[in-house]
Amino acid sequence: MINVIASIEVNENRMDEFLKIFNANVPNVLAEDGCIAYSPTLDVETGIPVQVLKTNTATIIEAWESIEHLHAHLKSPHMLEYRTKVKDIVKSVSIQVTQPA
């Protein structure tokens, strides 16, 4: 199993629009072979001093059975369509891929 933490920075004042498009695609991703979890999250203020709040950023928490499943996900037709829909909304994307220690 692998975990993916994707940080998607969205242009200012476009988060609601982004989340509407993203959430419409979630059922497609969850139906993919090898998908264990796929969920968008937003930072919440906690008052914890070491917390780094990311404004205008959605953090996607994913779990996949394997790296091969992740690669297939990235090439899937619904992900290609999703990327086209959000190309003018998303400012930047970065991912971290981890495995259980």
* Top CATH class, 12-44+51-90: alpha beta
Give tens-digit pLDDT for 64-83. Answer: 999 999 999 999 999 999 99
Q: How confident is the model at residue 5 (pLDDT cuts 50, 70, 90)?
A: very high
97 membership: H or E segment, kind and range:
strand 90-98
In the chain, domain spans? 12-44+51-90
CA pair distance 75, 85, nearest whole angstrom: 15
Cβ(37)–Cβ(101) below 8 Å: no
Give tens-digit pLDDT for 17-33. Answer: 999 999 999 999 999 99
Q: How many residues are present in the chain?
A: 101
